[in-house]
Amino acid sequence: NLTVAQNIFLGNEPRRFGIVDRDQCNRRAKEIIARLGVSFSVRASVSSLSLGERQLVEIARALSTSARIIV
């Protein structure tokens, strides 16, 4: 039931004064999604995405942590 942005930053959410900064989370998620060349909303529920789009969300999640190798 998480949004794309929430899923990308799950456990590593950007915080401001100890509170999750949803605006920054959405902004950074948009940047990562744009790098992948896809055009779905970062506010969309992951459960509403196709299997291929869900895989792209997982790749975006790896990119958000600056992963050097993605298998």
Specify the pLDDT at position 33: 93
Model confidence, pTM: 0.82
> In this structure, are residues 54 and 62 in contact, taking their beta carbons and an 8 Å threshold?
no
Specify the pLDDT at position 10: 85
Specify the pLDDT at position 53: 93
Q: pLDDT tens digits for 15-61? A: 888 888 788 889 999 999 999 999 889 999 999 999 999 999 999 99
Specify the pLDDT at position 15: 81
C-alpha angle 51-34-27 in degrees, rounded to nearest 5? 105
